[in-house]
Structure 1
Amino acid sequence: MTTQWVKPPEGSWTEHYPELGTGPISFRDSISPEFYALERDAVFTRAWLNLCRVEELPEVGSYLTKDIEVTNSSLILVHGEDGRIRAFHNQCRHRGAKVADGSGREPELVCARSGWRYALDGTLRHVPNQDSYFDFDTADYGLVPVHCDVWAGFVFVNLDAQPRQTLREFLGPMVTGLDDYPFGTLTERYDWVAHNNSNWKIFADAFQEYYHVPSLHTQQVPAEVRNPAAGFTCGHFQLDGPHRLVSTAGTRRWLLAPEYMYPIERATQSGLVGPWRTPDIGDLPAGLNPGGIEPWGISNFQIFPNLEILIYGGWYLLYRYWPTSHNTHRFEAYTYFHPARTVRERIEHEVAAVVLKEFALQDAGMLGGTQAALEYDVVDEFPVNDQEILVRHLHKVTLDWVQEYQNR
């Protein structure tokens, strides 16, 4: 895929990326168990996957575990004595028991079943009755490492034996244009999880375009957006390798119409667009709004395969889509704010998190029916318009990765 963006002529986006084509697309990649089996190895075992942020591993000895169904893996992330965050397979080298569950802080990792003790760098430190083993060297039985790296406070792993790219190379210039965004200052977090009866890409598609907004979100958008003749569109789309970006204009002025707001939003001056007042977090990087949209509102950075970072300026959302089968997935959603300085600010944050959750679940509520209808397998060609370029891109990139893997 292209790794460069040039402003498209006459407002056209799709035609500016000719490798995407303009014809109808198939969603067979979202209903096929056979494709899912390939996708697990071709995509999720080879791409860099975000598991957490550094704030979740704040001190030496901090650890957390993550089960990743799509790769049939259980991992431990550990904050080492040298300050480095490492990842290991969560499996004791004795007889395969999990070394840890959940999260916490310990000076070493101890398998509850066998008593084998591992240092924070994964080396085997102690074995009960070591003399009873045969030709045994502790240096041969450390935890199995997983490639791990950090960008902008986001902790990524790669399960491939030899990753084709470093994390920064994989992310590319469009995503790393956020290097200077102050993620580390936005540490007040609200999160929730939804288990969905749909393929992971079907939910990702819901946040890749705003064409559906006037029809689906009628209670939470003003009249000028609800009008089908208004021609509501996004201001900027951008592709960089396997990653995607959509930015929209926005101003709170037109979002304050009382006829579409909940009373709690008016009372707290917070809601769908977040708190109406946010702390000054300093200069924002140019990479946040590469299209130069004025007035800028939201930029959604979609990092292949399953991470989205939606930035609203003074706060941001984080989404992860974790496949659990060919037609189910786990959706993780996180809202990050500057730590509240007053009780009122705390209430503003909680209201925003709840309203945003409802907005997302309006999309999620359509997914089971969409998946079921696609699995009827009556239609295999679906037209997508110029504002749905990112939908076209995600499905093409996924197919490209699978085909390249098969060719190898």
Structure 2
Amino acid sequence: MSELHQYQRPESEEAMALGTDPIPTAPYFSDDYFELEREAIFKRTWLNIGHVCELPESGSFIVRELEFADASILITRSKDAEIRAFHNVCTHRGTQLIATDSGTRNTFTCPYHSWTFNNTGELRGAPDFERFYVEKKDCSLLKVAVGVCAGLIFINLDPEPKQSLHDFLGPFAEQWEQLPVAKASTYSEYVYEIDGNWKLTYDNFQENYHLRFIHPRSGGGGAVGADNPFGYPTAYGFHGDHRTQQIWANPNPVLSDTQKFAFGKLIPALLQKDSLQHPFGRAYWATYPNLFMIGTPTQPFVHYVMPISARKSRGVIRIYWVGEDSNASERFGREFSMAMARDVHSEDRMVIEAAQRGLNSGALKHIHLQSQEVLLRHLYTRVDAKVQAYKQEMSRGAL
């Protein structure tokens, strides 16, 4: 275990400082609270929206829709290899430039009046531009702050972010550069929309208390055992707004015949690759506000949850791979890994949505968290601190 991880038991002084009181339910369904989160958190924070392997060459681009901000973001790679991000908005009259999710092009032409921009954002041409009362240099695409760490692309909608991406990530940045995701050239992806608040959805993946009850068929046999009947993590860490845990390794997992076959093909092949080795074991990084990553060589797993409304979210699950499949067995193992992730998630989704329905009426005023749900409490306290600080800013007229 790297010394960069400062793990603690859930009864540690820092964990206990988070409190033991029940958590109010309103932040998990309230439209008013969600509006505050949009402004205080998601419009000011570094958010993962992709990976550099999606932009393999000059002219590559991707587009991401961010409903919480009513924004469409265009991310490009230009001839200088730099990755840039812009609002997907023509500076003439606001028309969205691109309607596709990805592609390769060096220029972007507005479908309305044919204003044309290059992939570094400058306006290159506009019909009859002499009749406008502005210069081309003042009509460039609106920039969005963008940063890359370990191949992961982050954007920040704050016009002047208070800190750089690497400062925001702190010790995570150095650790992630040693993970398979930093070398990834491709990925498997599962995107889902869920009738659940983003925190409620994300919290499901921060605790193992539910494993033996929800996943006895798909994953519980490998994640729980006689020595650890709930599959609790062995330790926790707190890093400002972020948090970590060390996932328990079951010495005697109960696997299905298909799992044995798939992993029997995949794991030996992966463990032979030096590019997949790292010193962090079964570490889990939870990055504020909505991203977590597990860096195991056999399943480099990234999952983020984007808010859509107070009671609806979109999740993106990716398993990143280094290099192409070297043989049919490795291909089967990779496909099975993603299929199993989807199976497990389908079981999670059912109970997350049931929990949301239970909370929506407001009849339940509080929820209760045990010591092994300390990561949930940490997220709530960090979110609420940002919300309350933003309310104070508004009251002082600072916004």
Per the TM superposition, whether the score is higher than 0.5 is yes
Q: Is 2:194 aligned against 1:221?
A: no
Greater alpha carbon shift after TM alignment, 110-119 vs 168-177: 168-177
| 1:327 counterpart residue number | 311
Q: Which amino acid aligns with 1:328?
A: K
8 Å contact 1:192–1:334 — kept in the other structure? yes
Identity percentage of aligned residues: 26
Distance in 2 between residues matched to 1:269 and 1:162, nearest whole Å: 46
Q: How far 1:21 moved relative to its partner?
A: 0.9
Q: Secondary structure at the match of 2:76?
A: strand
Q: How far 1:136 moved relative to its partner?
A: 3.0
| 1:341 counterpart residue number | 326
Count matched residues: 386
Q: How far 1:314 moved relative to its partner?
A: 3.9
Distance in 2 between residues matched to 1:314 and 1:284, nearest whole Å: 10
| 1:110 counterpart residue number | 109
Distance in 1 between residues matched to 2:242 and 2:168, nearest whole Å: 9
Distance in 2 between residues matched to 1:186 and 1:223, nearest whole Å: 26
Distance in 2 between residues matched to 1:223 and 1:315, nearest whole Å: 14
Q: Which amino acid aligns with 1:65?
A: V
Distance in 2 between residues matched to 1:369 and 1:80, nearest whole Å: 46
| 1:120 counterpart residue number | 119
Q: Which runs of 5+ in 2 are unaligned?
A: 394-399
Among 387, 390, 395, the residue aligned to 1:402? 387
| 2:237 counterpart residue number | 238
* Cα deviation 1:52-74 (Å, max 9, x = unaligned): 10111111111111110011111
Q: Secondary structure at the match of 1:330?
A: strand
Q: Secondary structure at the match of 1:211?
A: coil
Distance in 2 between residues matched to 1:285 and 1:337, nearest whole Å: 15
Q: Secondary structure at the match of 1:234?
A: coil
User: Relative to 1, partners in 2 of residues 1:224 and 1:124: Cα closer, same or farther, differing over 3 Å?
Assistant: closer
Q: Secondary structure at the match of 1:329?
A: strand
Among 356, 375, 378, the residue aligned to 1:390? 375
Q: How far 1:209 moved relative to its partner?
A: 1.2
Among 273, 279, 293, the residue aligned to 1:280? 273
Distance in 1 between residues matched to 2:315 and 2:14, nearest whole Å: 32
Q: Is 2:360 aligned against 1:375?
A: yes
RMSD across aligned positions (CA): 2.3
Among 73, 98, 101, the residue aligned to 1:100? 98
Q: Which amino acid aligns with 2:288?
A: F
| 1:292 counterpart residue number | none
| 1:57 counterpart residue number | 55
| 1:299 counterpart residue number | 283
Q: How far 1:95 moved relative to its partner?
A: 1.7
Q: Which amino acid aligns with 2:67?
A: E
Q: Which amino acid aligns with 1:249?
A: W
User: Relative to 1, partners in 2 of residues 1:134 and 1:7: Cα closer, same or farther, differing over 3 Å?
Assistant: closer
Q: How far 1:370 moved relative to its partner?
A: 0.2
Q: Which amino acid aligns with 2:334?
A: H
Among 125, 133, 138, the residue aligned to 1:135? 133
| 1:190 counterpart residue number | 188
Q: How far 1:309 moved relative to its partner?
A: 1.2
8 Å contact 1:14–1:21 — kept in the other structure? no
8 Å contact 1:186–1:315 — kept in the other structure? no
| 1:350 counterpart residue number | 335
Greater alpha carbon shift after TM alignment, 201-210 vs 334-343: 334-343
| 1:200 counterpart residue number | 198
Distance in 2 between residues matched to 1:155 and 1:250, nearest whole Å: 30
8 Å contact 1:63–1:78 — kept in the other structure? yes
8 Å contact 1:218–1:226 — kept in the other structure? no
Among 163, 171, 180, the residue aligned to 2:178? 180
Q: Equivalent residues in 2 for 1:26-175 (5 A)?
A: 26-101=24-99, 102-131=101-130, 133-175=131-173
| 2:351 counterpart residue number | 366
Distance in 1 between residues matched to 2:362 and 2:98, nearest whole Å: 43
Q: Which runs of 5+ in 1 are unaligned?
A: 289-295
| 1:16 counterpart residue number | 14
Distance in 2 between residues matched to 1:346 and 1:358, nearest whole Å: 18
User: Relative to 1, partners in 2 of residues 1:24 and 1:120: Cα closer, same or farther, differing over 3 Å?
Assistant: same
Q: How far 1:112 moved relative to its partner?
A: 2.2
* Cα deviation 1:165-206 (Å, max 9, x = unaligned): 111111111453222223243333111111111101111111
User: Relative to 1, partners in 2 of residues 1:155 and 1:232: Cα closer, same or farther, differing over 3 Å?
Assistant: closer
* Cα deviation 1:16-55 (Å, max 9, x = unaligned): 3343112222232111000001100100000001111011
Q: How far 1:234 moved relative to its partner?
A: 1.0
User: Relative to 1, partners in 2 of residues 1:230 and 1:109: Cα closer, same or farther, differing over 3 Å?
Assistant: closer
Q: How far 1:364 moved relative to its partner?
A: 1.1
8 Å contact 2:61–2:103 — kept in the other structure? yes
User: Relative to 1, partners in 2 of residues 1:354 and 1:6: Cα closer, same or farther, differing over 3 Å?
Assistant: closer
| 1:293 counterpart residue number | none
Q: Which amino acid aligns with 1:304?
A: Y
8 Å contact 1:14–1:22 — kept in the other structure? no
Q: TM-score, normalised by structure 2?
A: 0.90
Q: Which amino acid aligns with 1:331?
A: G
User: Relative to 1, partners in 2 of residues 1:110 and 1:134: Cα closer, same or farther, differing over 3 Å?
Assistant: closer
Greater alpha carbon shift after TM alignment, 378-387 vs 206-215: 378-387
Q: Is 2:255 aligned against 1:265?
A: no
| 2:397 counterpart residue number | none
* Cα deviation 1:313-337 (Å, max 9, x = unaligned): 3431111211111001111111123
Q: How far 1:226 moved relative to its partner?
A: 6.3
Among 310, 316, 325, the residue aligned to 2:300? 316
